[in-house]
Structure 1
Amino acid sequence: MANGTTYKTCTCRDEKGKRLGANCPKLRRPSRGGDRWSSTHGKWAYQLELPPHADGTRRNPLRRTGFDTQEEAEAELDHARGLLALDEDAHVKRRITDLILAVLKNTKKLPDTEEVRRKARTHQDLNRQITVAEWLEEFLARKRRIEATTRNGYAAHVRIYLTPYLGDIRLDRLRVSDVAGMFDAIEEFNDVIAIERASGDPERIKKVRYRRPVGASSMHRIRATLRHALNIAIKQDRLRDFNPAAVVELPAVTRPKPVIWTDERVTRWRADYNARTDLARRARARVDVIGCYISTPRPSPVMVWTPAQTSTFLTRAERHRLHLLYRLITLRGLRRGEAVGLRWQDVNFAGNTIGVHWQITQLGWQPVQGKPKTDASDRVIAVDAETMRLLKKHRANQAKERLAAGDAWADSGFAFTDELGRPLHPQIATDQFYWIAFEAGLPPVRLHDLRHGAASLMLAAGVEMKIVQETLGHVSSTFTRDTYTSVYPEVAAAAAESTAALLATPSPSVLSHGRRKPSSARRFRH
């Protein structure tokens, strides 16, 4: 019994209602070589003696049941034995036992052996998981022998960005997408600062007078601080040998132009992705596929899908309850906060328009509701007939969800909510977007890059620059033109054809006898 044993048990009861357990006669059946375990009755279980309490009193044995086969019960029994054998010190063994019982109570599973081994070796508290915020605090406390300016820089990054955005996450569960999401939220707040300062309203400007937009260089420094802190965590065995901050793609110091995913670029990226995932599988049993998907280097930090790739994404997204949100971002260029913040009162079904009069952004992890900050961002957008039809269908589906939720329904008035009617957290839209794009077999783009794609689609379709600017909510058409006119080959080709047509038409000053030929004049006007 000291080393544990496996056996069969069931839930049968005798005539007095007492549970029979392992004594049920149906658990065994007669055979020539003696009784054998029944293959159809009962479940397998195991029992293992545990180390005594500190005062020497005996603990109840560890008993676990519900296994379909004896092999499954034996495997978990071996796992439990291995945990108790990690350290011979009686005090450490008791701490490991307490951890086993606590984790089983919360998760119904035994703790990971390697994680417990690391904690036992470094004398960490086995019964709690350290958060990113707690580790960053410890990281700063270790930084005593560096220059004061460097330490102040670390502390500012931790206080203003890393702790608010990532602090509540368990250190051992920090993902690449968490770090990438932090930088997406920082970029989104940059837009808020710029809009406030451009408003001309002294009160609104006053709100952000102490906040500066975070440039590309600052983002790289913030990531360097986090990467350094996580590298130390790896050296201290607080984290596995993978640093999620080291692989996150950040914009270059110079503002990058959007680049299209051509077939050649997709082929090169996919080869790099396959090599990265194969390496991860050889190094670790479990591969973070979305982490590899996001972090595999791209030709540019800002990538745009082709029309065919965009169509593939929208087709795949139709399976998801938020597919209409992604359609609006893809075709109409809404910002993430604007799409998540769309309210039914701002949808004009008769006029085929939607009003962008509200948004939900992130400050750290906390969602913040508010109005767009400038006249350019507060706008009304025309919507195609198919999208309006889908909006009506989406509203009907939401009504069904409301009936299913009953009294638990929160009447928030938003077009896109969770299953209980509560406002949608912006990060949920981002997380689901990555999964849909991955499942569709597409090369990665950021959710915000769908907005770049919408602008390029409109330009490729011949939409005037002024209309594109107003649809996107840009203050100036100069920004729109400088950013998007070089994205699609179709746009450049259209410009080249227009230029060639003008050059092919003689000007009035060079026509014979100084008179304009009727056919040429008609061709020029056309």
Structure 2
Amino acid sequence: MARVTSESGGEPTKGKGRSRRNGEGSIRQRKDGRWEARVWVYATNGSEVRRSVYGSSWQEAHEAMIKLQSDKMAGVRVPTGGDTVGHYLDYWLTHVAEPRVRPATLANYRRLAGAYVLPYLGSKKLGQLRPADVRTFLNRLKGVCQCCALGKDRKRVQRGASARCCAAVPAVCCANVLSDGSVRYAHRIVRAMLQDAIVDELIATNPARHLRISHRYRPKFTPWSAEEARRFLKAARGDRWYALYSVALALGLRRGEALGLRWIDVDFVENVITVRRSLQRVNGQLVNGPVKTDSSERKVALAQPLARVLELHRADQVRQSKTAKQWADHGMVFATKIGTPVEPRNLKRHFDQLCAKAGVPQIRFHDLRHSCATILYDQGVPIENIQDVLGHSSPTITKTIYVEATRKIQ
């Protein structure tokens, strides 16, 4: 076996070399023909460990060794420990994500992490995760039927349900691939988790940070015009949710924000609504929790016609509470026939029926928010004022996401 020195720029020489200084590193040829360079580096836990890099020639090993030494001088630390992605993900959800995100967001994190991140990445070593691993994971979510890949149908059959996809005989793939939004969400979870692993000094770099993914960043939507909005409200007049749709269209409230409104949030003297709560279903329970972001908590002025609509709605609610066999007063602006919070999914069905009755394009309830922004913009309201109404932190967000200018304005 050849014994060599690791002098910078030198060639390997047989025989006795000069004494190496501490930390300089060494290069040797292995029995399999490869060259191995060994260098002392600093680990993420503060200790000093020896790391090996390899090359097919002495020059390749030497260049890899120089890079390690350069990273060491720059303060880069190498990961230690044998934690898997799954082990750290469980820790991250409980101790890092839970204190800083809304309960509904955390529930989505846990759902996507358990259904997709853990099956694909959970067993991989955290310190050995590479960008190619994350890219393969995201591509499989988008291009492969998850029912077949993860055996969802087999698990469904084990619970007593009928086979619908890969477990059916003959097998008929249901093509259950994830939407662009779900793939983007999974990417966001993995990227955030790995970024915190850097803060915890478990890894040196984030392999998910600079990936360029081909999925669309945001879904396309078509807001209503002012005429379509008027047609819808005309069809909804007399309906018990007329006031709700009026608030959503006029103020651009999210569904959870509208359903989370309480009468103490409505000031009929100053004609102002304070948006500070959001009704969400979390782990099977309806929870009236905080709004999406800090900037989402806001005060929005009530136009006089809208204030009048809410006053009439309150009077109807008072009459209903007196005639109902039972009434659980939660102080909600929009409540069920017995005073309890409204199930968001029930509202969706009602909204779809009204769209058909009015003869307007079928959109999501959330697109009323988009429609509000576009109608205000068409009427000449400055972006900065629309930003305040919608509760965005930046007017750029408002213009990029929510405002689709009409051909006339363009």
Q: Distance in 1 between matches of 2:173 and 2:336?
A: 33
Q: How does 1:12-411 map to 2 (within 5 A)?
A: 203-204=99-100, 212=109, 224-225=145-146, 229=153, 233-234=163-164, 253-256=215-218, 300=220, 302-363=221-282, 365-406=284-325, 408-411=326-329
Find the aligned partners of 1:335 and 1:219 in 2 and give their Cα distance.
32
The offset of 1:454, in angstroms, is: 0.7
Structure 1: any 5+ residue segments left out of the alignment? 1-151, 157-192, 258-299, 494-526
- Provide the rounded CA distance (Å) in 1 between the counterparts of 2:294 and 2:178: 34
Deviation, 1:374, is 3.5
In 2, the alpha carbon distance for the partners of 1:210 and 1:397 equals 36
Partner SS state of residue 303, structure 1: coil
Tell me the TM-score normalized by structure 2: 0.52
- In structure 2, do the counterparts of structure 1 residues 322 and 314 end up closer, same or farther at CA, with 3 Å as the change threshold? same
* CA–CA separation in structure 1 for the residues paired with 2:282 and 2:106: 17
Deviations 1:149-187 (A, max 9, x none): xxx9xxx9xxxxxxxxxxxxxxxxxxxxxxxxxxxxxxx
The CA distance in 2 between the partners of 1:474 and 1:413, in whole Å, is: 27
What residue is the counterpart of 1:467 in the other structure?
Answer: 385
In structure 2, relative to structure 1, the CA distance for the partners of 1:413 and 1:221 (3 Å cut) is farther
Whether the 8 Å contact between 2:142 and 2:178 is mirrored in structure 1 is no
Secondary structure of 2:295's partner? coil
- Deviation sequence 1:249-292 (CA, Å, 0-9, x none): 865931346xxxxxxxxxxxxxxxxxxxxxxxxxxxxxxxxxxx
Give the Cα separation in 2 of the matches to 1:390 and 1:206. Answer: 32
1:220 and 1:250 in contact (8 A); partners too: no
RMSD of aligned alpha carbons: 4.1
Question: Could you tell me which amino acid in structure 2 is paired with residue 454 of structure 1?
Answer: C
- Structure with bigger helix share is 1
Quick one: distance in 2 between partners of 1:223 and 1:320? 44
Using the TM superposition, give the Cα deviation of residue 225 of structure 1 relative to its aligned residue in structure 2, in angstroms. Answer: 3.2
Task: Report deviation, 1:378.
Answer: 0.9
**Match for residue 376 of structure 2?**
458
Q: 1:233 Cα deviation (Å)?
A: 2.9
Highest CA radius of gyration, 1 or 2? 1
How far, CA to CA, are the matches of 1:453 and 1:206 in structure 2?
Answer: 26
* CA deviation vs aligned residue, 1:215-269 (integer Å, no higher than 9, x gap): 9x6996599436974998346789xx997x9799865931346xxxxxxxxxxxx
The Cα of 1:430 is off from its aligned counterpart by 1.5
CA distance in structure 2 between the aligned counterparts of 1:329 and 1:385, rounded to whole angstroms: 16
The answer (yes or no) to whether the contact 2:142–2:179 under 8 Å persists in 1 is: no
SS of corresponding position for 2:287: strand
2:366 corresponds to 1:436: no
Counterpart among 482, 485, 499 of residue 400 in structure 2: 482
- Per the TM alignment, residue 422 of structure 1 is displaced from its structure 2 partner at its CA by 0.7
- Seen in structure 2, the aligned counterparts of structure 1 residues 320 and 237 have a Cα distance that, compared at 3 Å, is farther
Aligned-residue offset at 1:308: 1.4
Q: Which residue of 2 aligns with 1:520?
A: none
The SS at the match of 2:324 is helix
Q: In the aligned structure 2, how far is the partner of 1:219 from the partner of 1:418?
A: 43
Aligned residues: 249
Change (3 A) 1:203 1:250: closer
TM-score for both structures, normalised by structure 1: 0.41
Q: CA deviation at 1:371?
A: 2.2
